[in-house]
Amino acid sequence: QSGTRLCGGSRCASRPPHSPLPRRHRPSEPPEPLPPPAPAAPAGGAEPPSCPGHRSRTPRRKWQVFPGRNRFYCDGRIMMARQTGVFYLTLVLILLTCGLFFTFDCPFLASTLSPAIPAVGGVLFIFVMGMLLRASFSDPGVLPRASPDEAADLERQIDAAGGSRPAPRTREVLINGQTVKLKYCFTCKIFRPPRASHCSLCDNCVERFDHHCPWVGNCVGRRNYRFFYLFILSLSFLTIFIFAFVITHIILRSNQTGFLGALSLTLSCTVLEVVVCFFSIWSIVGLSGFHTYLISSNQTTNEDIKGSWSTKRGKDNYNPYSYGNILTNCCAALCGPLPPSLIDRRGLIQSDTPQTGSQSNGSSSHTTTQLHSHMVGGAH
């Protein structure tokens, strides 16, 4: 009959095709998913997580907005001046001269005289390259620029001290009985600590500024002066070492085959080394001697050129930074603790703090004030 069908051998009634099944005969359905909980408000006023599909901004570091004219490499770990062409010339001259020496001279000298010759030369070469790279890649002691709030506060102090007339942009401090002037930097908006100066090439105030050296591609200041001095001193020894043994190589070869017969490819490269060493040895040794004099008297190149402590300025003028002993001055310059960097170039930029060209790099107003007071009160 219509409307009935057999189910497993028994008769059961079937419903019309369009009638809904009773609830007990409906297939089981999965429960509807609950809506996700609302994200909790982040502490500290931070922004909520970005919506799906929204591209999150990568946090920037302070070296990326550094106001000075510097180049940074390896995510801010390496800091150099913007003009680095002469630095690469320095590398080429050292690598070329040493490469020719180890390739064409050392095999003959090691077999004829002593195998210690290439070993000593290798140690000197590694030390020279290490000191060069350390002096070139380090922060020389850059002072942070004042933030807009710090600069405005300093301007109010200057105006209040000047009264009706424009106040002078200098301050005087007493260091070991000698009056020292602190000059105001209109670029960095700070009173520079004693012995600091503004480098016009890097556009930074550098603590204990010595000079800007294009040969190392960086300023030379408080944090890398010892590496610069050890570089030029060891380079002097290396140049004299190569020059002396290259001459020895030429003499020994000439005794064996005659001078004209010794002018082969090997000796041609050796003659090139003699020429390079001869024209560079005078300037390198002279520069090493000059900086040895500066270290022994605890002066900087900047102070010596300006004659800051010369008796021509007055009979009572003297260097307040000298310890009065050559050995103590040398130890203070070469063996003292290395101060930390003040610019925090790898620090992250806060999202709620706009970074401008005149803003400080990781320093607050009291930090800058403490730096100045430390330099004034702790010159010795």
Alpha carbon distance, N-terminus to C-terminus of the chain: 117
Domain boundary among 192, 221, 252: 192
Instruction: Tell me the residue range of the domain where 220 lies.
Output: 62-143+203-335
The mean pLDDT value for 16-27 works out to 46
User: CA 377 to CA 371: how far, in whole Å?
Assistant: 10
In a domain, 20, yes or no: no
pLDDT bracket for residue 372 (50, 70, 90): very low
With beta carbons less than 8 A apart as the criterion, state whether 70 and 79 touch.
yes
**Is residue 139 domain-resident?**
yes
DSSP code at position 70: E
Backbone angle region of 111, left / alpha / beta, with phi > 0 → left and psi within -120 to 50 → alpha = alpha
Instruction: Note whether 133 and 181 are same-domain residues.
Output: no
Task: Tell me: do 163 and 271 sit in the same domain.
Answer: no
11 found inside a domain: no
- Overall pTM surpassing 0.95 (yes/no): no
Copy the structure tokens of residue 173: 């401090």
Given 213, 269, 330, 335, the catalytic residue: 213
Q: Please give the structure tokens belonging to residue 27.
A: 């297939």
pLDDT tens readout for residues 43-70? 444 444 445 545 556 788 888 889 999 9
For residue 235, tell me if it sits in a domain. yes
Residue 74 annotated among the catalytic residues of the structure: no
**What's the burial of 300, exposed, middle or buried (CB within 10 Å: 0-12/13-18/19+)?**
buried
* Mean of all residue pLDDT scores within the chain: 80
Do 153 and 138 belong to one domain? no
**198 located within any domain:** no
pLDDT (tens digit, 9 = 90+) per residue, 205-242?
999 999 999 999 999 999 999 999 999 999 999 999 99
Residue 364 falls within a domain, yes or no?
A: no
List CB contacts of 372: < 8 A, sequence separation 6 or more: 182, 190, 191, 193
Q: What is the pLDDT of residues 148-180, one digit of tens each?
A: 888 888 888 887 776 656 667 888 899 988 889
Q: Give yes or no: residues 159 and 123 share one domain.
A: no
pLDDT in tens, 64-102: 889 999 999 998 999 999 999 999 999 999 999 999 999
Does 118 lie in the same domain as 256? yes
- Shared domain check, 317 and 177: no
Give a yes or no: residue 236 inside a domain. yes
The total of structural domains in the chain comes to: 2
Q: What is the pLDDT of residue 370?
A: 40
Q: Which pLDDT belongs to residue 10?
A: 43
101 and 173: one domain? no
Does residue 226 contact residue 210 with C-beta atoms inside 8 Å?
Answer: no
Q: Is the pLDDT of residue 36 over 70?
A: no
